């Protein structure tokens, strides 16, 4: 059997080409030079069909062989990656190997985000390379080219495809999973990330069972409910050891993930486009480029897998100026004012923020159209100078004179029925003729699958950005998609084509923004984390993590987010207390420690806090600037499990050279006469010594008869790296419920006393 082997620094991916042209999956795991086709064992299996051209060989069955791109209609009764029907309603396709080529450089996809290689990588001997495998069905004229992108230094392999209709009639794609991994054996757990609005990306680990387990989104976005990222881990895999595989879908629309264990205990893992109501029409000569999936494998546990995806997204998905530089510390007026503000009120917030070292003010929803509540104005992107009491350019200029940058909120995909845009172009919104639409937040969704709609909205918003000194855009999206009907000249409605076209329209809008305003930092948002995916990070290097700004809730949300996404991608702010979502009150220091696990900022009116708290804000901003390179570019370690560790939460940032570590702890529960809890660090050098150069913690007021002890127990001492990792760091008894501790360790050089 011929093989194609793809090698990264630590992994090998091997494909087999069967003598009858079937493309088989041989191996994905630790790097090897071995011919892995010896793993295939063929037997006569009852009720597993045989290809006709196998003749009397009843041992050959695709129902029991691992495949690269399994298709419906070939005798494989497991979940297919691809299914097509023709105009006569006949389902199925028999794709066989035609040819393959390997070329230097990483492939790209028109109109879609992809993992890319740096320009410096292009000159390397061991730079990225692409495998293209062409498959064809001689009967129908369907052709599929599979793309494999290999980034050796990252230990990442990407998968995509293009489907071409080379026949004469229409075909309809009913299922399109661009990435399939088949495993011949193993006991696995599935880790997936579920949630809801204001509680996104909760990690859930469940055993892979016989049958199919699936999740996805049919909401038009990747959604709050399920994130397009999943991990398949061997049953005994932990944070620190064991084999695990990750898949991240670089797409911001509907998606589906499936894992299936078959009758022979083989496991199939798949990621791709949602097949509910798919029926994607391709006319003769048309093609469909499939969104990309990024894969990674490690034998070193979940932390190492996360670090692979963090490096990939931070350096090879995110783009632009803000990929590497520190983002400005900002203040957003939303929770301070909501929609009820004037220009003077915004200036008062900015003035106090500037005094404390905040570097940017972001004006959120309400600056445009007729927008005094959320029932009107969306779609009318002209400045409401009457509400502001001044031109927007003047407001931005005055904020600039305070030494601050200016940012702006937009929601370009939405429209209110009470708007000039809707009155002039009601057909531009998704709405089924003769039926009342389903509203969300009392707004409708503009049909971004239509170029003229995207053109109009972009022209309006560019008209504002061209005249106002804007350094930052927060691009929001506040409802799910329903009533899908594109009111074009064609009477036939193709749901999948419209939904995919919508996502392509959003990407086109963002690409235009980036091209015209390359120095503007864009933050993605969809009611917080409703579109937090690797595809969106190609356009927006950070995303508002969640509309829930409560520090204790955010610990859980940010914990789950960290399995796939780097800290640099997480928008996280200090907000007011009692918290607006939960009513919980936490110390300002605790809120800052949690918010520093992201792109740091504030979501409150700093005029309303005490003088001592203002001094604390100054110190927080200084600390963030001091730590930002470690936070954004270091290795992030999860040091607790929210499902198991109810006493305290902990995480750390470790420098790539293992020479420095800020350790962060938040006490989640408090008890009388409690046992001491210890946090075991990770990622340090076992044979090195580390000095605790700073120990900070919040202080709980004491109500007893004796003064409360609040001594610094760690600062100034030297510790062995192995001890910090093996025995851990004690959490002080003085630390009360919802209080925090931040400890900074630096490696001691041999010459240092």
Cα–Cα distance measured from residue 409 to residue 381, given in angstroms and rounded to the nearest whole number: 11
Q: How many other CB atoms are found less than 10 A from the CB of residue 41?
A: 10
- Measure the CA–CA gap between 734 and 698, rounded to whole angstroms: 10
Contacting residues for 540 by C-beta, under 8 A, at least 6 apart = 475, 510, 522, 523, 524
CA pair distance 543, 100, nearest whole angstrom: 38
Contact assessment for residue 564 and residue 203, using Cβ atoms and an 8 Å cutoff: no
Question: For this structure, is 523 an active site residue?
Answer: no
Catalytic entry in 427, 483, 511, 613: 613
- Are 176 and 163 in contact by the 8 Å Cβ rule? The answer is yes
- Rounded CA-CA distance 36/156 in Å is 20
- Dihedral through CA 25, CA 30, CA 35, CA 38, nearest 10? -70
- DSSP 3-state assignment of 276? coil
First and final C-alpha spacing in the chain: 63
Which residues on adjacent β-strands are paired with residue 368? 383
Q: What value does the CA radius of gyration of the chain take, rounded to a whole number of Å?
A: 27
What is the spatial distance between Cα 725 and Cα 661, in angstroms, rounded to a whole number? 12
Other C-beta atoms closer than 10 Å to the C-beta of 143 total 18
The question of whether 397 is a catalytic residue gets the answer no
* Residues whose CB is less than 8 angstroms from the CB of residue 48 and which lie 6 or more positions away in sequence, other chains included: 61, 63, 64, 75, 77
To which residue do tokens 């914990």 refer? 559
**What tokens were used for 588?**
């300002």
Give the active site residue among 94, 533, 547, 605. Answer: 533
The residues facing 54 across adjacent strands are none
Query: Could you give the CA distance from residue 684 to residue 681 in angstroms, rounded to a whole number?
Result: 8
Distance, in Å, from the CA atom of 203 to the CA atom of 324, rounded to the nearest integer, reads 28
Return d(Cα 635, Cα 438) in angstroms, integer. Answer: 44
Exposed (0-12), middle (13-18) or buried (19+): which is 236, by Cβ within 10 Å?
Answer: exposed
Question: Active-site residues: which are they?
Answer: 533, 613
């Amino acid at each position: 059997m011929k093989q194609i082997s793809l090698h990264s620094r630590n992994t090998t991916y091997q494909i087999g080409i069967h003598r009858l042209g079937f493309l088989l999956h041989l191996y994905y795991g630790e790097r090897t030079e071995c011919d892995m086709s010896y793993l295939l064992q063929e037997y006569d299996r009852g009720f597993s069909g045989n290809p006709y051209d196998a003749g009397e060989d009843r041992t050959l069955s695709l129902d029991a062989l691992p495949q690269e791109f399994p298709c419906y209609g070939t005798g494989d009764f497991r979940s297919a990656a691809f299914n097509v029907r023709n105009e006569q309603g006949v389902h199925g396709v028999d794709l066989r190997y035609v040819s393959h080529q390997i070329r230097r450089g990483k492939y790209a996809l028109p109109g879609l985000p992809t993992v890319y290689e740096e320009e410096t990588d292009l000159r390397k001997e061991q730079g990225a390379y692409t495998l293209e495998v062409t498959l064809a069905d001689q009967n129908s004229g369907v052709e599929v080219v599979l793309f494999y992108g290999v980034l050796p230094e990252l230990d990442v392999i990407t998968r995509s495809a293009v489907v071409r209709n080379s026949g004469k009639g229409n075909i309809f794609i009913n299922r399109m999973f661009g990435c399939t991994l088949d495993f011949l054996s193993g006991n696995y757990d599935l880790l997936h990330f579920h949630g809801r609005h204001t509680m996104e990306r909760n990690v859930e680990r469940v055993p892979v069972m016989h049958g199919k387990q699936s999740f996805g989104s049919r909401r038009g976005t990747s959604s709050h409910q399920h994130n397009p990222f999943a991990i398949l881990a061997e049953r005994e895999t932990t944070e620190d050891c064991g084999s695990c595989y990750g898949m991240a879908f670089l797409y911001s629309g509907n998606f589906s993930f499936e894992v299936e264990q078959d009758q022979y205990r083989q496991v199939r893992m798949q990621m791709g486009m949602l097949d509910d109501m798919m029926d994607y029409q391709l006319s003769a000569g048309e093609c469909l480029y499939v969104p990309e999936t990024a894969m990674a494998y490690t034998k070193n546990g979940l932390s190492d897998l996360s670090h692979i995806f963090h490096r990939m997204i931070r350096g090879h998905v995110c783009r632009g100026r803000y990929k590497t530089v520190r983002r400005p510390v900002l203040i957003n007026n939303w929770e301070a004012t909501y929609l009820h503000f004037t220009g003077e009120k915004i200036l008062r917030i900015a003035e106090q923020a500037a005094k404390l070292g905040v570097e940017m003010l972001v004006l959120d929803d309400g600056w445009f159209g007729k927008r005094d509540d959320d029932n009107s104005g969306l779609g009318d992107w002209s400045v409401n100078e009457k509400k502001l009491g001044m031109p927007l350019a003047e407001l931005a200029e005055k904020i600039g004179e305070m030494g601050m940058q200016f940012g702006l909120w937009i929601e370009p995909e939405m429209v209110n029925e009470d708007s000039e845009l809707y009155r002039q172009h009601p057909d531009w919104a998704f709405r089924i003729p003769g039926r009342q639409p389903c509203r969300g937040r009392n707004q409708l969704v503009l049909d971004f699958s239509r170029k003229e709609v995207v053109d109009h909205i972009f022209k309006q918003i560019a008209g504002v950005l061209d005249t106002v000194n804007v350094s930052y855009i927060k691009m929001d999206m506040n409802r799910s998609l329903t009533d899908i009907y594109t009111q074009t000249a064609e009477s036939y409605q193709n749901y999948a084509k419209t939904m995919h076209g919508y996502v392509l329209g959003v990407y086109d809008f963002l690409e235009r923004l980036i091209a015209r305003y390359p120095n503007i930092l864009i933050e993605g948002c969809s009611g917080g984390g409703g579109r937090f995916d690797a595809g969106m990070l190609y356009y927006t290097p950070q995303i508002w993590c969640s509309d829930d700004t409560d520090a204790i809730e955010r610990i859980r949300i940010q914990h789950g987010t960290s399995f796939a996404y780097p800290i640099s991608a997480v928008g996280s702010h200090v907000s007011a207390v009692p918290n607006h979502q939960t009513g919980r009150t936490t110390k300002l220091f605790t809120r800052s420690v949690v918010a520093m696990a992201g792109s740091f900022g504030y979501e409150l009116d700093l005029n309303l806090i005490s003088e001592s708290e203002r001094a604390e804000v100054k110190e927080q901003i200084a600390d963030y600037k001091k730590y930002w390179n470690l936070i954004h570019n270091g290795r992030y370690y999860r040091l607790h499990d929210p499902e198991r560790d109810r006493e305290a939460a902990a995480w750390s940032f470790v420098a790539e050279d293992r020479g420095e570590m800020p350790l962060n702890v938040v006490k989640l529960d408090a008890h009388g006469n409690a046992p001491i809890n210890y946090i075991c660090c990770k990622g340090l050098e076992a044979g090195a010594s580390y000095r605790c150069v700073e120990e900070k913690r919040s202080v709980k007021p004491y109500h007893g008869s004796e003064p409360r002890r609040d001594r610094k127990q760690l600062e100034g001492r030297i510790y062995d790296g192995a001890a910090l990792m093996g025995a851990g760091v004690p959490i002080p008894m003085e630390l009360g419920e919802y209080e925090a501790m931040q400890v900074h360790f630096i490696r001691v050089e041999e010459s240092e006393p």
